Structure 1
């Protein structure tokens, strides 16, 4: 039977004890990491969230306690009273924070027993992720994940303190709100008291935080859960957390300055790194043309180079057709890779770009005695010389080309660039490059829906000088939007908002919403804008993604206590799951799935 804590109170967590406490009576509590039985001595390594400490049970000084200690096993929950002692010089463990000290036990209580866990609770466990997520409560005992969640706590606290210092109020916004189907799919919640009607879980507090600016709160922030019913990636979850904020009477420079201050403070207080401000900036156009991405990893070079003008009349039909059809031909010079990559490895790079809809990858290996390339025969000596000159090609270099529509060329070469950066060891994984990407297109054309849609969201303001193009040339309009990018990840984004009721209504019309449809979806917002709306703007940081980057992992599930998997399911709780027919009847819902095994 499990023992109780009656009359026993913890004095320290395991690693709070130091050599300064030697000689004191202490009480620690936690889980058994390891038990070593050396006959007269039993050593138990006890673990709590702070770390581990060694406890010693001696049969000569306390045989009953020694006998009791022989019963404990891994993951038993213990309370131990004893005297803190200094270890002998030969017994010191320099790999432990508490390696110079140990507790000589005088009392042991077994608070709970444990079955043998399905995997070892240790730093670098080799169990597969699905098993660890099924037993997530055990996985979370591992020091690695506990450090990550402590870091997440620190980031959230720093955010609250920083924005409070800068005059922001933390204000909660609703979770049960109205569906506004623009962008990703909503998670819907049926209403029992309004049959046939649904709430939507918020994809963002966007409308409400803008209404708080209409209400005169001036500066708002919130650490808030958001929901999007979309396909998952390694850095995405169906429910995620934002550090959300909005400011009144500001322009883009004001919003950027405040948030550079936050990131600078965050890196200093969590990693001890000084990130100089102001951060560098790239326009969207420059980011795409140089890196093939609107979230470029700028820790290494391998920039894209446009050679369209050099090959517009080339004998190589693939190049010529791409330019004639309004696309482009762009290249990357992988310096020195020509001498390192075999033909098989180059062919594998071709498969990489095909993943991103490119038809293929053309290549040249520059050698001292000439050029090795399957496309060289289609190009004149002048064209080859011009290409080599523009790319700064030298013997040993590998030149890689993609020709297609610009969006395909950027996507394919942008991802190929990242692949090469890893393969060639060009990325310094201990370095953090922080930058802003600005002047995003306001709109993009959706071929499937045959209409213009907002690149970010329909409340983003167009750049003043581009407003006149809204009706005549929507694709030309740039926005007052800005994303923060760290090491190739978008960690935050925002914009200056439309604060004019007339311009907001016009924006809705441009994206295909009639005045009636806009009124049905956003009428309360348009009404609010009639009553004096200040100029305002803001942004939101992804707390999960920020934590992932600062923790040095590339899997967002490593920084979320109870994450979902690729199918948006929880392996531990088996959510989502079927519900009782009675619950469905109360909600006036019938499903088209009858067999529970199919649900």
Structure 2
């Protein structure tokens, strides 16, 4: 049996009179007084099928029995639709297929939610449980097809640039890279475990040691971490590594890759992309992931704050805190009630409150008006470039709290006041990150321990490691980090030094990274790399609310697969075979 001569988007007036066969799902079904209309749907489109009782009574009885999402194969003649019955929204809207034969290929149970009405709200957990039905609603499949085209464009471009795609192992060794590893027990080596890769980091660096020169891979990575809207326990990244190269060699390659990926959707990206240091991003936007689609830049207000008799300002100045803020053009129309809402909003990020100062035609309105003279406020307005009917929003707190609070507040206000266009794509390279950070009183890597310090800062490793900058870079799009990379350490002695600063003992270094230190000891070329988050790029490109919407079979926010009901308990015999005993 031949299932189709045409797809459901292909028939047009040029096919009128032809005998055809189309196959697909019953999208919609209508019985209009003895005339049955079926919208037959496949992945490509919809074709209207018609069966008239007065012409084919036996066939009509069979067709009248079908229900939503049954799978049919229909044979018939292509006819022009009656005048006034055309559907300009469909490529096939001028024709219909007059049914002559129908084969019911598969029946469907009652549906847990509507397929034909893709605008109806369906609980996300129900959608994930019946992901195969959710795909039929169209949007998920469209995104998966688009994703395929982006991946294809990526592979073609990287090949032209001389990169070799290499598949690296999925079963590897657990190394301390930040997040928790997913562990796989070994049956052959009782008590020993493989780890699923958080990234192919060490493998791709070793490929450079091996002389590959240019590597890439669309890699699946695994991280056992707390999830957010843009995180999954398993995710895809476009992984890239180059030998004998500097960031100035890499950036144009990545920028053109971005151009090629966005061109799939007909979006033009202008290159070269702007660059900004980590410190400047923190100063102006409060974050190393700034959204540059709108202004609302932060300004340091400490000098102005010294002129206030406001105790919170003075206390923060005395304690080494900071005072920063931004100006909202036309923001004097923000009500007291809304300002109270903003105050509660910034408290989520550790701020104790929000100072607001309105520049009005008849003077100043502020919740700190009594703590400074009119001249002080005028000087602040001049510094911020504020005009009549603008508002200044300020926070006084430790620097990290101020930055985080104002970052989130400026994003919220920009969204509420429509200060940017969702179709804008604003990229920026963020460079010169700190090499180290401090967490819970301990020094840790800002990116990962294989990142090279800037040459001019290497001398500070012994005296002031927290001030050392790294040769690292992130690519940020509309406030999302979509790529991260660095120049790598290619000297075994320097790598050992970094490990020791991170308080790894010689024994621990040998146990965890001995193979890697050995590799660096046999002549390693200078090399660098980057990884682009494919899921996050697709999320931004498609306007999806989270990366679950651009992944075929995603996990929930609690890392559960509702369709397969995973993770799941395994049989006692399997545990015994793996020498594992579950204690709770």
- TM-score w.r.t. length of structure 1: 0.95
**Alpha-carbon spacing, 1:89–1:288, altered in 2? closer, same or farther (3 Å):** farther
Pairing 1:484–2:475 present = yes
Distance, in Å, in 2 between the alignment partners of 1:287 and 1:20 is 59
2:490/2:526 contact within 8 Å kept: yes
Distance, in Å, in 2 between the alignment partners of 1:473 and 1:174 is 38
* 2:187 aligned to which of 183, 188, 192: 192
Q: Hey, what does 2:134 align to over in structure 1?
A: 139
Distance, in Å, in 1 between the alignment partners of 2:431 and 2:13 is 54
1:51/1:143 contact within 8 Å kept: no
Distance, in Å, in 2 between the alignment partners of 1:482 and 1:85 is 60
> What is the correspondence of 1:244-323 to structure 2 with a 5 Å cutoff?
244-268=239-263, 270-312=264-306, 314-323=308-317
Pairing 1:500–2:491 present = yes
Distance, in Å, in 2 between the alignment partners of 1:343 and 1:557 is 38
1:313/1:320 contact within 8 Å kept: no
Distance, in Å, in 2 between the alignment partners of 1:495 and 1:462 is 9
* 2:344 aligned to which of 351, 360, 372: 351
Distance, in Å, in 2 between the alignment partners of 1:208 and 1:389 is 55
Q: Hey, what does 2:104 align to over in structure 1?
A: 110
Q: Hey, what does 2:528 align to over in structure 1?
A: 537
User: What count of residue pairs does the alignment treat as equivalent?
Assistant: 583
Q: Hey, what does 2:555 align to over in structure 1?
A: 564
* 1:462 aligned to which of 439, 450, 453: 453
**Alpha-carbon spacing, 1:253–1:17, altered in 2? closer, same or farther (3 Å):** farther
2:3/2:73 contact within 8 Å kept: no
Distance, in Å, in 1 between the alignment partners of 2:287 and 2:75 is 58
Distance, in Å, in 1 between the alignment partners of 2:519 and 2:15 is 63
Pairing 1:412–2:401 present = no
- 2:521 counterpart SS class: helix
* 1:333 aligned to which of 327, 335, 359: 327
Q: Hey, what does 1:216 align to over in structure 2?
A: 211
- 1:321 counterpart SS class: helix
Q: Hey, what does 1:581 align to over in structure 2?
A: 572
- Give the C-alpha shift of residue 11 in structure 1: 2.0
* 1:237 aligned to which of 228, 232, 245: 232
Q: Hey, what does 1:23 align to over in structure 2?
A: 17
1:190/1:198 contact within 8 Å kept: yes
Distance, in Å, in 2 between the alignment partners of 1:313 and 1:408 is 23
Distance, in Å, in 1 between the alignment partners of 2:176 and 2:365 is 53
- Give the C-alpha shift of residue 313 in structure 1: 5.7
Q: Hey, what does 1:82 align to over in structure 2?
A: 76
* 2:444 aligned to which of 432, 438, 453: 453
Greater CA deviation, 204-213 or 481-490? 481-490
Distance, in Å, in 2 between the alignment partners of 1:85 and 1:164 is 48
Q: Hey, what does 2:505 align to over in structure 1?
A: 514
2:198/2:222 contact within 8 Å kept: yes
> What is the correspondence of 1:345-384 to structure 2 with a 5 Å cutoff?
345-384=338-377
- Give the C-alpha shift of residue 89 in structure 1: 3.3
Distance, in Å, in 1 between the alignment partners of 2:377 and 2:551 is 52
Pairing 1:202–2:197 present = yes
Q: Hey, what does 1:436 align to over in structure 2?
A: 429
Distance, in Å, in 2 between the alignment partners of 1:519 and 1:19 is 73
Instruction: Give CA-to-partner distance per residue, 1:228-247, whole Å, 9 cap, x none.
Output: 11111111111111111111
Q: Hey, what does 1:386 align to over in structure 2?
A: 379
- In structure 2, runs of 5+ residues without a counterpart are none
- Give the C-alpha shift of residue 506 in structure 1: 1.2
2:220/2:237 contact within 8 Å kept: yes
- Give the C-alpha shift of residue 189 in structure 1: 1.1
- Give the C-alpha shift of residue 500 in structure 1: 1.2
2:154/2:260 contact within 8 Å kept: no
Distance, in Å, in 2 between the alignment partners of 1:321 and 1:315 is 10
Distance, in Å, in 2 between the alignment partners of 1:400 and 1:102 is 61
Distance, in Å, in 1 between the alignment partners of 2:143 and 2:226 is 25
Distance, in Å, in 2 between the alignment partners of 1:206 and 1:21 is 55
- Give the C-alpha shift of residue 198 in structure 1: 1.1
Instruction: Give CA-to-partner distance per residue, 1:57-111, whole Å, 9 cap, x none.
Output: 1233333222211011000011112222332331111122321222222211001
Instruction: Give CA-to-partner distance per residue, 1:392-451, whole Å, 9 cap, x none.
Output: 2222222111111211111110000000001111121011112211111111111x2x22
1:33/1:45 contact within 8 Å kept: yes
1:227/1:239 contact within 8 Å kept: yes
Distance, in Å, in 1 between the alignment partners of 2:65 and 2:537 is 44
- 2:84 counterpart SS class: helix
- 2:136 counterpart SS class: coil
Q: Hey, what does 1:597 align to over in structure 2?
A: none
- 1:484 counterpart SS class: strand
Greater CA deviation, 80-89 or 506-515? 80-89
Distance, in Å, in 2 between the alignment partners of 1:361 and 1:558 is 36
Pairing 1:157–2:131 present = no
2:278/2:433 contact within 8 Å kept: yes
Alpha carbon RMSD of aligned pairs, Å? 1.4
Q: Hey, what does 2:542 align to over in structure 1?
A: 551
Q: Hey, what does 2:4 align to over in structure 1?
A: 10
**Alpha-carbon spacing, 1:495–1:89, altered in 2? closer, same or farther (3 Å):** farther
Distance, in Å, in 2 between the alignment partners of 1:427 and 1:546 is 19
- 2:75 counterpart SS class: strand
Instruction: Give CA-to-partner distance per residue, 1:112-163, whole Å, 9 cap, x none.
Output: 1111201101321222111111211111111111111111111111111111
- 1:195 counterpart SS class: coil
- 1:349 counterpart SS class: helix
Distance, in Å, in 2 between the alignment partners of 1:311 and 1:166 is 54
Q: Hey, what does 2:335 align to over in structure 1?
A: 342
Distance, in Å, in 1 between the alignment partners of 2:551 and 2:330 is 41
- 2:582 counterpart SS class: coil
- 1:81 counterpart SS class: strand
Distance, in Å, in 1 between the alignment partners of 2:324 and 2:436 is 25
- Give the C-alpha shift of residue 9 in structure 1: 3.1
- 2:323 counterpart SS class: strand
Greater CA deviation, 159-168 or 392-401? 392-401
Distance, in Å, in 2 between the alignment partners of 1:249 and 1:200 is 30
